[in-house]
Chain A
Amino acid sequence: MDSSPHENVSNPVQYIGALLLASVLLGAILLAPMDAIGQLFASLLVLISISWCSKEAQHTQPHQHFFRILALVLGTALTTRYLLWRGLYTLTYTDIFSLVAVWLLFIAEIYAGITSVLGAIVNAFPLSRPLLTLKDIDTERLPSVDVMIPTYNEDIDILEVTIRAAKILDYPKDKLFIHLLDDGGTDQKINASNETAAAAAKKRRSNLQALCKKHDIDYHTRAKNEFAKAGNVNSAIGNTSSDLIVILDADHVPTSDFLDRTVPWMLKNENVFLVQTPHFMANPDPVERNYFSAFTRMPSENDMFYGTIQKGLDYWGSSFFCGSAALMRRAHLELVGGISGESITEDAETALDLHKLGYESVYVDRPMVSGLAPETFDAFIQQRMRWAQGMTQILLLKKPFKAEGLKWYQRVGYMSSILFWLFPFARIIFLLMPLAYLVFGLQVYHASMLEILAYTIPHVVATYMISTMLFGRTRWPLVSEIYEILQCAFTLKALIKVFVKPREPSFVVTPKGESLDKTFVSPLANVFYWLILILLFAFFTGVYKFISEPLSRELTVVVMLWNGFNLLLLMSVLSVLLERKQVRSQSRLPATNNVVLRTQKGQAWVGDLVDLSIGGARMKLKGEGALFSDQAKLTTWCEALNKNVHLPVTVLNYDSKLSLLRVQFSPSTEKEHSEVVAFALADSRRWMSFQRRRTRAITYWYGAKHVLSVGLKPALLHFLHALDIAGKKISHKISSAKE
């Protein structure tokens, strides 16, 4: 089925007409009234069908695309039927309070339904592009490229790694120009009234100028810090002239093949303004580190976006610029005055402006830039608040749903991406709504148990089934809920501010590379303690209600289950708030290279790398014997440099039982420093392999079990932590008393 039918599609207008007619008829059927028993019966069959279709939609199946669409249509139909039923039959209220509660819940459900349907459209047919290369293209034909690294307050160490990696990009050197765009050393900063800040800015400027000189790249700064990152890049665009522009965040280290894999798409189609690649995070974000401790085994948060959604958006010609790790065409950028700066998510806004002009974007699904995720929960929230506010600004200021020049599917793509960020409204409602019934006795959900079984449960189950089918490899079950709960309280406040004053929010740089030298409870934890207390109160009120009101026990049990699910998720997120000490400054990722280790005495060992970071490596040595020397040279093939490299290392530890050796890189020359970067960070194959390893297919129940089992520990950890603090205080008081 996958291979032939498209040949028959001669007249799409007829097909679209038939599709619209069938959709109207399906809508009528979904609207048609039928008692709950009949609906329950139909729901069961539909759920069984979705389950079967999901299996057939796996990428190994011959008719995967058809069954994927069939499952999506079935799921969408169940959701539509549910919302129609809710709207037509269940919005009963008795007073103004229940009226408000009933409608708040329904609006939240409509929101969830709309995002679910938009998501189904976006992800119906993810586009898989072939891997192109410049190998066969005449070098003379290649366009010149400006690599721009905007910086504001990042450490020089981080910047230097990025610069070294940019320097070894596999591209003709006469066509590659690297620029450091310093916004921390602008004239405005240097002349600031705060003398300390001005001195620091001045020092930063001279340090960075020295760094640029050392690496023979261009240093740029400007007079004023206008329009944040967008203004910084636009200022540099005015002072450069290459055909293409690469934008790399300060911590975003490119692999050597970045241009080799992206420039061909610019050459193939003059209409392409953007080639976006995934942001590969080389370290776990606070959720991954604190909660799951499974950074190398389960998909990262952004794997879902870059591994699935961007591919879906790419199919619909609406993959968008993500601020970094992207190649852009100068000519097109100049048409819209450079990077747009009306919102604080300048990247998506710029893409929207160029899509509106009819230009095209390309998404290459190969991780070729490794960056740093925010280390602390505080930084993580700060980053997400900016994204949420920025996307909402685009919604309010640019109105992509009616933007001229966009195709209908591009509008769907943008609205899907933007509406997602309004989740805090719905999530807070879903969290607190059980209280309306359990605590305040408001009947917000006017339905019988049978109807809940016939409409609500199938809708929820179908939503999870569809989500597992679409994102099962890149997002484990319940992970989305945990991320949303973590963010909702803070981003809700930020979103309300945007709705009140859409132009008010300003760009805040996400702190990166923060060190965690001790375990501590995040200062943002208080709101979650309160939420847990409130939900616990609702739980006990529910127990009382169950005992004292036998008439409504069915409903009470349902609402208590709902509340219990929320409570479980809230308890789970406590773990994220316990910021764990980070032992290594850089995270080590799995690696499999063959290595030879030579000591100064000429002894040599052969082994295989186990993991690797820019700071060091761990390897399993082959053969017997002990390593006595502290210093050694590690020889291995470096794909980025296309040659063997000999890296000096310091031996840290040798486990003779397991033959595991831990070493630290100790480069002393510029060449050795660059070789370490080239070996550790500039090989995209390693990122690919790592990503494939953790985006494996798992069953829904396995994922849910894992996530929930991990989630049960944090409450205890918080409790122990509180005990520890209390213990210390008591012992301190006792000792003071003794004194």
Chain B
Amino acid sequence: MIKIYPTLLLSLLLAFTVNAETNTYRLTDFFAGESIIRLEGKADSIDFAIPLASITDVDNAVLTLDVISSKALIEKRSQLVVRFNNATIGQIRFDPDRPSLISEVPIPAKLWRDGFNTLTFNVSQHYANQCVDGSAPELWSEVNMYNSTLQITSSNNVDNFTFDKLDGFFNPGIGGLRDVSLITATDVEDDITKRTLSLVGQALALRNQYQPLELKHETFDEGYVLPELDTANEGQRWTEESIQRYERSAWYTRGSSQNNRSGNALAKSQTQQLHVIVGTASSLSPVLSDTTVNSIKGPYLKTEVTPSFSIGNRVIIPSTFRLIVSGNTTDDVHKAAQTLAVMDDEINVTSQITVLSHSGMEASRLQKQLIAAPDTAYEFQDLGISAARFRDEGDFSKRASFLLPADFYVPENASVSLLLNFGYGAGNGPGSIMNVKVNDELVHGLALDNPNGQVFKNYKLSVPARYLKGGANNIDFDVTLRAPLAGVACDEVAGSHLIFQLESTSAIDLPDAGHVAVQPNLALFGETAYPLARFESAPASSIIIPSSDFMDSALTISAKLAQVANAPLLNLTINNMALESMPSNAIAGSAIILGTPDSLSQVQQSEFTTAIEATKRWSYQLQNNLHNRVRNLTQDRSFKAMKVEGNTIQESDLGPQAIFTAHANPESNDTLFILAAQTSELLNDRVSDLVSLSMWGQLAGDFFAWSDSRAPSLVMQVNETYEIGESDDAWLQLRLWLSNNPWYWLVGFVVLVFSISLLIYLLLKRRNKKVQDSW
């Protein structure tokens, strides 16, 4: 065993290297809409947000815009104004002789701020000096968001790594981490790998919000081999002092630091790697200082900067940021991970936390915390929806988003009440309106046509609850404000007086709902992590891996599930077991099995429509001609339920692609997911693709195949649907089952009606005979 040498002051004072990094982003990385935006009319504008992690300083930023403008625009009165955080940073004149242009606009570093920065494109467009018709079709210009780029040179600004900086590292903005290593001792306790590592990963991923976080599990041995020094140079040899410094550094990351995976463009922004070491005090003692080990009295969290190790000018081990999750026992470590999952970083301006106790850490409670409960009324502000205020002439939109339980299920005639508090000022012109949409269904329209303005309190809209769905729901308030007509040709009334406001005291009254969902449904899984994350209860669920080679994939998926569920999944475990010796009850409940065709051959898949084994059974789409004909005819690009009747059994490998399937769990009334690729390495790569923003959103059907991060190669619904839900509401389950299988109802109905009719007929005939006999 290597001894831990006393810490040397010198090594502590040794500054770690802060590298400036330059990255280029497409504007589409920050904008969810079309890749080309069109700005129309006399004046138009569009805003979008560019997030920046708090640990990042922008040293230099240049915006390169690819713009096309209408040739009808006159030069002096038509221009694109670029604003950054409301400061004008560029004015691009539209030239009818040069309608296509590429322009570079530098963004001053001092304008950047932590969090969301607003980039605004504002155009004024005229085809004449007077009497311009604002709705004229020639008033347009386009910005190609895909071709337009933002080049940023940034650097890490953390010099004192405390917990309040943690959400700067794990942040969806520029500079945030997109992958992280979880490091344990090689002979780590089973409990750590089974439930704690996953929880740590989830805790960090939750800080990343919507940005994916890839997780990598690495281990260190108790012993190590000192790196070879350039003995040719004088002074480059191992001394006791240098060994002590070496042991204080993050020597165990030496192998992995050169193997930094870069999932997407944002990932390249990291300037300093952060890693997490997880384990009991005793298992982590080879890499922790004695002081640290001695300070671990219970569940323990610590942030620190490891010193770099260099000899001469050569940096052998760079300085790194390190998060320690530890404790005296595995339970302590798990408790520390739980705290990490729920803690607010901002209030912990400290680098060391010992958790004494915690309460309310039940999985079922945490999983429903951010989800609106059925049969409850919420004000918008309770759901985190802010008030909206729109001024001036133009089209405005306010989106109120909230989460409902994934298995939110209401009868056909249930309704949800919106009690809106809103108002608009005097002097609205024709065309001023408010439209309300619920999940893109137009449910109400109102002309804002009172010349004196109007204020509404508890303006009630009763909307069919079937417009709501499990998971994320959006209520859009689209408002158009128009100035009144001047009544004189070529004269216009300015719209600066126009105002509309929607109060956050507006409320939504949700109906009572059951907790039942139709399965298998990868779309629902992708949106809410259902059925691994549920609202009403939190049954145990698991990710089953055949070997530790699949650990990275399992951790990354569990982190993604926490992100979509908006809560840590405390009851999710990662079970590493040989599939051939796996007991049948191991997959009871909701489970995801990772594997290769070879390893999955051990899993009983005979009941499934598709089977991924050495010999594969595929449900080819073409085996259902009718479905495909109809889909082609209607250009249906959705993946609605379709039952494929036939299948083909073949011998082949999966190639570079991965397959994600969902089936009824043969061991319990639940869903079993299978995620497979030809090798564990390929599976890791495909899981990285899968958790990306673009691919995860495309999850659908119950058969999902992909081989890159752009688009799935095949999505199908091949299995019979079934329902799962809360066992205490059998009525709702029955409703859903019958709704999916009306034939059963009808057959029962026909049989009983026929039987009753026959019996009545026989009895009536008998009576008739008796009456006739009496004549």
Contacts and interface: CB of A to CB of B under 8 A. Distances in A.
Contacts of B739: 34-35, 37-38
A623 interface: no
Contacts of A35: 411-412, 735-736, 738-739
Contacts of B497: none
Contacts of B748: 25, 29
Contacts of B745: 29, 32, 34, 38, 42
A364 to B, nearest CB: 12
A127 B775 contact: no
Interface residues of B, number: 45
Interface string B430-465: 000000000000011100000000000000011110
Interface in A78-92: 89-90, 92
A129 B463 CA distance: 60
B773 to A, nearest CB: 11
B746 A45 contact: yes
A74 interface: yes
B128 interface: no
Contacts of B412: 35-36, 447-448, 450-451
Contact of A8 (B746, B753, B762): B762
Task: Give the most central of A1, A38, A74: most B CB within 10 Å.
Answer: A38
B46 interface: no
A18 B759 contact: yes
A19 interface: yes
B752 A125 contact: no
B760 A5 contact: no
Contacts of B466: 448
A269 interface: yes
A124 interface: yes
Contact of A29 (B463, B749, B769, B774): B749
Contact of A15 (B411, B754, B763): B763
Contacts of A41: 742, 746
Interface string B723-755: 000000001101110110010011011001111
Contact of A33 (B411, B443, B752, B775): B411
Given A29-B752, A127-B771, A70 B738 contact: no
A9 B752 contact: no
- Per DSSP, chain B at the interface is helix
Contacts of B758: 66
Contacts of B445: 550-551
Centre residue among A25, A35, A268 by max chain B CB count within 10 A = A35
A74 B756 CA distance: 10
Contacts of B627: none
A568 B762 CA distance: 43
B738 A34 contact: yes
B76 interface: no
Nearest to A33: B735
Interface residues of A, number: 55
A518 interface: no
A735 B137 CA distance: 72
A369 interface: no
Interface string A548-583: 001100000000000000000000000000000000
Among B731, B736, B746, max chain A CB count under 10 A is at B746
Nearest to B770: A6
A338 to B, nearest CB: 27
Given A12-B763, A65-B764, A66-B761, A26 B749 contact: yes
Given A65-B765, A448-B413, A551-B444, A74 B742 contact: no
A315 interface: yes
B738 A74 contact: no
A23 interface: yes
A6 to B, nearest CB: 4
Interface in A441-489: 443, 446-448, 450-451
B668 interface: no
B648 interface: no
B761 A69 contact: yes
B512 to A, nearest CB: 11
Interface in A1-56: 1-2, 5-6, 8-9, 12, 15-16, 18-19, 22-23, 25-26, 29-30, 32-39, 41-42, 45-46
Interface string A431-445: 000000000000100
Given A42-B749, A77-B753, A447-B413, A9 B762 contact: yes
A32 B742 CA distance: 11
A39 B742 CA distance: 8
Contacts of A130: 775
B413 A33 contact: no
A73 interface: yes
Contacts of B766: 6, 9, 12
Contacts of A33: 411, 731-732, 734-735, 738
Nearest to B766: A9
Contacts of A92: 413
B753 A315 contact: no
A157 B145 CA distance: 103
Contacts of A69: 757, 760-761, 764
Which of B443, B758, B774 counts the most chain A CB atoms within 10 A? Answer: B758
Nearest to A409: B767
A42 B738 CA distance: 11
B768 interface: yes
Nearest to B759: A19
Nearest to A268: B775
Contacts of B464: 448
A73 B775 contact: no
Nearest to B754: A70
B413 A22 contact: no
Interface in A95-135: 124-125, 127, 129-130
A92 B465 CA distance: 14
Contacts of A19: 756, 759-760, 763
A34 B741 CA distance: 9
Contacts of A38: 738-739, 742, 745
Given A22-B756, A69-B764, A315 B746 contact: no
A240 to B, nearest CB: 30
Contacts of B444: 550-551
A31 to B, nearest CB: 10
Given A38-B742, A42-B742, A6 B765 contact: yes
Given A38-B739, A65-B761, A89 B756 contact: no
Nearest to A132: B775
Nearest to B447: A548
Contact of B762 (A15, A46, A89, A447): A15
Contacts of B415: 446
A465 to B, nearest CB: 15
Contacts of A89: 411, 413
Interface of A: 1-2, 5-6, 8-9, 12, 15-16, 18-19, 22-23, 25-26, 29-30, 32-39, 41-42, 45-46, 65-66, 69-70, 73-74, 77, 89-90, 92, 124-125, 127, 129-130, 268-269, 315, 443, 446-448, 450-451, 550-551
Given A6-B766, A29-B745, A73-B757, 13 more contacts: A6-B768, A6-B769, A9-B762, A29-B748, A34-B742, A35-B411, A38-B738, A65-B765, A77-B749, A125-B764, A125-B768, A127-B771, A269-B774
Interface of B: 411-413, 415, 443-445, 461-464, 466, 731-732, 734-736, 738-739, 742, 745-746, 748-749, 752-769, 771, 774-775
29 contacts: A5-B761, A9-B765, A9-B766, A15-B759, A16-B763, A22-B756, A23-B756, A33-B735, A35-B412, A35-B736, A35-B738, A36-B412, A42-B742, A42-B746, A65-B764, A66-B757, A66-B761, A69-B757, A70-B753, A70-B754, A89-B413, A92-B413, A129-B775, A268-B775, A443-B462, A446-B415, A448-B466, A551-B444, A551-B461
Which 10 pairs show the lowest CB-CB distances between chains A and B? A33-B735, A38-B742, A35-B739, A6-B765, A34-B738, A70-B757, A26-B752, A19-B759, A9-B766, A36-B412
